């Protein structure tokens, strides 16, 4: 059965859609896409129904990565429907952990899979400049590599 992964940030329009798209891109290239079911969600609901931020989509597209997700808010059913939830920053981790209560879902900070030491949070690029989006993509690329390695294929 496919492993079910959910990437989570605050708005679900910048970081978690990018993480989802990078992960999908990598597993397609490796020919292992059928091993995973992947989605993303936000802890907040302000952007529900919207495509990802155009700046994030443009930055990803320059790397050949298409971000096509539509924002949604995380809900309690997600804790039954997913095996592993990957949070982008410490606030997301706290919020998701509080909602998950004693469900059995596994929650991990996304950057716990990155090899660069010392960076715990994927910075929120929403109010910053262009370079913030590139930084996010670089961090997520590294973390997705580590995640795939950790998952064993
Ligand atoms: P994200 O970025 O959590 O990476 O999707 C944000 C996007 C929008 C807002 C916050 C974070 N906002 O407050 O509108």
Query: Is residue 117's pLDDT more than 90?
Result: no
C-beta 9 within 6 A of ligand 1: yes
Q: How far is the CA of 53 from the centre of ligand 1 (A)?
A: 9
For a pLDDT cut of 70, what percent of the chain falls above it?
99
Q: Which helix (H) or strand (E) holds 150?
A: helix 130-151
Q: Is the CB of 141 under 6 A from ligand 1?
A: no
Kindly give the number of the ligand 1 atom that is closest to the alpha carbon of 10: 3
Question: Residue length, the chain?
Answer: 153
Please give the positions annotated as active site. 9, 15, 124
- When the pLDDT of each residue in the chain is averaged and rounded to a whole number, the result is 96
CB 4 within 8 A of CB 37: yes
> What is this structure's pTM?
0.97
* pLDDT band at residue 116 using 50, 70 and 90 as cut-offs: confident
Task: State the average pLDDT over residues 79-95.
Answer: 98
Measured from the Cβ of residue 131, the count of other Cβ atoms closer than 10 Å reads: 10
CATH fold, domain 3-150, is Rossmann fold (3.40.50)
- Of all protein residues, the one whose alpha carbon is nearest to atom 8 of ligand 1 is 11
Q: Using one digit for the tens of pLDDT, what is the confidence trace for 6-50?
A: 999 999 999 999 999 999 999 999 999 999 999 999 999 999 999
Q: Which two tokens stand for residue 96?
A: 């998701």
Please, what sign has the CA dihedral across residues 54, 60, 63, 66?
Answer: negative
Tell how far the Cα of 47 is from the centroid of ligand 1, in angstroms: 8
Delimit the domains of the chain by residue range.
Answer: 3-150
- Res. 108 pLDDT band, cuts 50 70 90: very high
Nearest 5°: CA angle at 132, between 126 and 134?
125
The per-residue pLDDT for 153 is 66
User: Cα(107) to centroid of ligand 1, in Å?
Assistant: 20
């Amino acid at each position: 059965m496919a492993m079910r992964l959910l990437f989570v940030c605050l708005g679900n329009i910048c970081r978690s859609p990018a993480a989802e798209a990078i992960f999908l891109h990598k597993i397609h290239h490796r020919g292992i896409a059928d091993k995973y079911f992947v989605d993303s969600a936000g802890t907040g609901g302000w952007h529900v129904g919207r495509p990802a931020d155009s700046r994030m989509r443009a930055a990803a597209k320059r790397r050949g990565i298409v971000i096509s997700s539509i924002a949604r808010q995380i809900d309690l059913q997600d804790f039954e429907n997913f095996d592993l939830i990957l949070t982008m920053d410490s606030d997301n981790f706290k919020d998701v952990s509080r909602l998950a209560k004693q469900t059995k879902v596994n929650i991990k900070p996304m950057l716990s899979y990155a090899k660069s030491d010392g960076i715990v949070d994927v910075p929120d690029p929403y109010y910053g400049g262009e370079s913030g989006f590139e930084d996010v993509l670089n961090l997520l690329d590294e973390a997705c590599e580590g995640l795939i390695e950790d998952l064993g294929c």
